[in-house]
Amino acid sequence: MPQKDSWEEAKDQLAAFFAGVLMLLYAPYGIWTNESAAARNAAAYHEMSAKVVSAQPTERESGGEVRLVHVAGRATATQALSDRIFRVSAVALRLTRSVEMFQWMESSSTHDGHTNYVYSQGWSESGVDSSKFHDRAGHENPPIPVPSCSWNNADGRVGEFRLNGKLVAQIPAFTPLPVTEAMFQGMSPEVRSAYTLKSGALAKGDGTHAGDLRVTFTTIGPQDISVIAGSKGNALQPWLTASGEERQLLEAGLVDAPTMLAHLHHQDVQTVWHWRFGLLFAVWFGLQFAVRPMFDILAAVPVVGTLLAPLLRLLGMFATFALACVLTLGITAVAWLAVRPMLSAGLLATGAVLLFGFKRKPAAPPAA
């Protein structure tokens, strides 16, 4: 393997140093943002657990103040939703039109400084901009003429409680809506001349040329759901927590309020811990990159570099990890101070132990 010259080594050291500095600049902000969100999530969980009340789907509200309710029952709709372009309609909570286009796609790989570009064709709901291809000739994609679209039913409800669009969008169960011959014959002459009916979908072209289209429809039909949200006059809306965040929960099936809130809490905690580990290692790697030039200089000293550089690098790894833990604990403690002061004090104490606890006092001289 060829040795790097001094200029290449200097560039590597400089790049590592600035990468470390950038990590150290971002990581504290990321830790603060993550822990602040964790504190707000914990406060919202306890607030919602204390304030939520279970309501029967048949209960009628007179209005007044917004209250946090849990309601479980059959979600239904009575009004029809319609796609005006294709004249497809259905009585459902949500109607979705999915439009896919057969188009060119570009992939690339680099080996020994040479980049190889490969082109293939496939179906995609998102338009691929072929003007950015390396080789555009013979790989042109037209724009998708009709976009995908969804419609939520303003009449969707669970008993007397009216669902808002964001809640309907959270319902996970979709049902395909095949296009029948009768539906196809009811479409406009322009649509019938441009598309053909194929296996319950609308097709434009034979699916082998760029620009060919495939249009399908799905619906969200009546089903059992459970909701925790704010309610005023039987209109469900996002609940505004004391920290100013909006929360509304929906799960498929009949689920009680404590279980729904436990699911929310588990998801929040899992996300926070993923970010915690990632940001801790970002601080650690940032510190290592920042001090790397110092170790490279020591390694260049003929005698010291040969004897001490490996040991100093190992000690540096442990020292930077301990310092990363101290910085992470300190920022976390400040973020939690207003919500859980005792937890904040414990984190600060742990950081102090990591920072100062390993300093041993010199042993007392033996008695004469």
Taking the C-alpha atoms of residue 315 and residue 305, their distance in angstroms, rounded to an integer, is 14
Inform me whether the pLDDT recorded for 248 exceeds 50. Answer: yes
Instruction: Classify each residue of 307-330 as buried b or exposed e, where b means 16 or more C-beta atoms within 10 Å of its C-beta.
Output: eebeebbeebeeebbebbbbbbbb
Taking the C-alpha atoms of residue 160 and residue 227, their distance in angstroms, rounded to an integer, is 13
Q: Taking all residues of the chain, what is their mean pLDDT, rounded to a whole number?
A: 86
Report the pLDDT value the prediction gives residue 368, as an integer from 0 to 100.
44
Inform me whether the pLDDT recorded for 361 exceeds 50. Answer: no
Is residue 253 within 8 A of residue 173, CB to CB? The reply is no
**Mean pLDDT for the stretch of residues 106-111:** 90
- Residues of the chain with pLDDT > 90: what percent? 55
- Position 310 in a domain: yes
- Position 300 in a domain: yes
Inform me whether the pLDDT recorded for 270 exceeds 90. Answer: yes
pLDDT digits 0-9 by tens, 249-259: 999 999 999 99
- Whole-prediction pTM: 0.75
pLDDT digits 0-9 by tens, 126-143: 999 999 999 999 999 999
Inform me whether the pLDDT recorded for 24 exceeds 50. Answer: yes
Taking the C-alpha atoms of residue 102 and residue 251, their distance in angstroms, rounded to an integer, is 35
Strand positions, DSSP E, 112-205: 114-124, 149-152, 157-158, 161-162, 175-176, 196-198, 201-204
Confidence of residue 1 (pLDDT cuts 50, 70, 90): very low
pLDDT digits 0-9 by tens, 187-218: 999 999 999 999 999 999 999 999 999 999 99
Report the pLDDT value the prediction gives residue 206, as an integer from 0 to 100.
92
Taking the C-alpha atoms of residue 291 and residue 16, their distance in angstroms, rounded to an integer, is 9
Confidence of residue 26 (pLDDT cuts 50, 70, 90): confident
**Mean pLDDT for the stretch of residues 272-282:** 89
Is residue 70 within 8 A of residue 217, CB to CB? The reply is no
Both tokens of 30, joined, read 């990321």
Taking the C-alpha atoms of residue 288 and residue 314, their distance in angstroms, rounded to an integer, is 11
Give backbone dihedrals phi and psi of 230, rounded to 5 degrees, phi first.
Answer: -75, 150
- Position 215 in a domain: no
Number of domains in the chain: 1
**Mean pLDDT for the stretch of residues 33-47:** 89
pLDDT digits 0-9 by tens, 327-345: 888 878 777 776 567 666 7
Contacts (Cβ under 8 Å, ≥6 apart) of 54: 69, 70, 71, 256, 257
Taking the C-alpha atoms of residue 272 and residue 44, their distance in angstroms, rounded to an integer, is 15
- Position 230 in a domain: no
- Position 325 in a domain: yes
- Position 191 in a domain: no
- Position 18 in a domain: yes
Inform me whether the pLDDT recorded for 2 exceeds 60. Answer: no
Report the pLDDT value the prediction gives residue 90, as an integer from 0 to 100.
95
- Position 288 in a domain: yes
- Residues of the chain with pLDDT > 70: what percent? 84
Domain that includes residue 308, residue range:
7-44+268-356
